[in-house]
């Protein structure tokens, strides 16, 4: 099972949009896909209509976990936890570290959507993931969010992993191609992170959020998606190439 986490601490950067579309394209390709919706808002859970619920992800953080005997090809765990472990998460981290690999045989891919802001839950996501996709918004705080995520990565690599997480890359989201400030920021980020920046980016299109609302990927949205679909396709294709054989 290849596990891909979508993480950045900034809210509204496009984590859920990207995570859902990644899950959809993997599902369409016939893979067995597990979605781990760790965001308490559970927006991805609402959008991924065809993924069957395995219930709350809470058992993953508990001792004596056993994976579902026959998991549906498309399954989803949702974060329905009410903050049970927030006060004492060290055991929960130890447990998911042991439990998560047990899901490996049942799925080809696992996509993890993460909550905004740093927490032990994000630590857990980065700890169990093979690859990481980081959406960045080219707003005033975009660059700061990449510094935060690089600190998160360093923290997890030092404390939670033996093998460093594979950073599939940063992808610019909600890009307005006619906004000069944004294009300059994009160039600055590329200068800084080099090939770690996706060559494709996601433009600012209402279709992406409309698709999530309609609970379908943008390629099944009942609209003229000629202006929004190609960019999403290009991004997903690049993402799959970058994720490649890291697993």
Give Cα separations from 2 to 33, 106, 155, 247 (angstroms): 10, 11, 22, 5
By the rule CB under 8 A, 118 interacts with other proteins: yes
By the rule CB under 8 A, 53 interacts with other proteins: no
Q: How many chain residues are in contact with other proteins, going by CB under 8 A? A: 20
By the rule CB under 8 A, 119 interacts with other proteins: yes
User: What are the backbone dihedrals phi and psi of residue 118, each rounded to the nearest 5 degrees, phi first?
Assistant: -75, 135
The single-letter DSSP state of residue 197 is B
In the range 136-175, which residues lie near other proteins by CB under 8 A? 151-152, 154-155, 157-160, 162, 164
**Beta-bridge mates of residue 110:** 3, 34
Instruction: Name which position in 94, 105, 227, 244 contacts other proteins (CB under 8 A).
Output: 94
| Interior angle at CA 20, CA 113 and CA 133, nearest 5 | 55
Q: Judged by CB, which is closer to other proteins: 45, or 122?
A: 122
Instruction: Name which position in 116, 120, 204, 223 contacts other proteins (CB under 8 A).
Output: 120
Closest listed residue to residue 124, CA positions, set 163, 152, 87, 82: 152
Q: Which stretch binds other proteins (CB under 8 A): 24-32, 45-53, 84-92, 233-241?
A: 84-92
As measured in angstroms, the least distance from the Cβ of 238 to other proteins is 26
CA atoms within a 13 Å half-sphere pointing along the CA-CB vector of 64 = 0
Residues making contact with other proteins (CB under 8 A): 89-91, 93-94, 97, 118-120, 123, 151-152, 154-155, 157-160, 162, 164
């Amino acid at each position: 099972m290849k596990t891909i986490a979508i993480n950045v601490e900034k809210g509204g950067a496009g984590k859920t949009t990207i995570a859902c579309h990644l899950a959809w394209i993997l599902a369409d390709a016939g893979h067995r896909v597990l979605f781990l919706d760790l965001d308490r808002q559970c927006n991805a859970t609402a959008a991924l209509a065809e993924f069957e619920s395995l219930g709350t992800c809470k058992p993953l953080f508990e001792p004596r976990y056993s994976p579902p005997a026959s998991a549906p090809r498309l399954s989803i765990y949702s974060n329905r936890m009410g903050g049970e472990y927030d006060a004492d998460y060290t055991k929960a981290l130890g447990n998911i570290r042991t439990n998560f690999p047990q899901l490996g045989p049942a799925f080809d891919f696992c996509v993890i959507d993460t909550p905004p802001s740093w927490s032990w839950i994000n630590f857990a996501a980065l700890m169990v993931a093979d690859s990481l996709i980081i959406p960045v918004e080219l707003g005033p705080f975009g660059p700061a969010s990449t510094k935060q995520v690089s600190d998160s990565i360093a923290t997890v690599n030092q404390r939670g992993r033996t093998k460093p997480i594979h950073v599939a890359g940063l992808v610019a989201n909600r890009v307005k191609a006619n906004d000069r400030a944004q294009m300059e920021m994009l160039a600055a980020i590329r200068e800084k992170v080099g090939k770690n920046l996706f060559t494709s980016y996601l433009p600012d299109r209402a279709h992406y959020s409309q698709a999530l609302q309609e609970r379908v990927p943008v390629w099944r949205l009942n609209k003229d998606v000629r202006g929004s679909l190609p960019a999403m396709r290009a991004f997903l294709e690049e993402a799959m190439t970058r994720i490649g054989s890291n697993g």
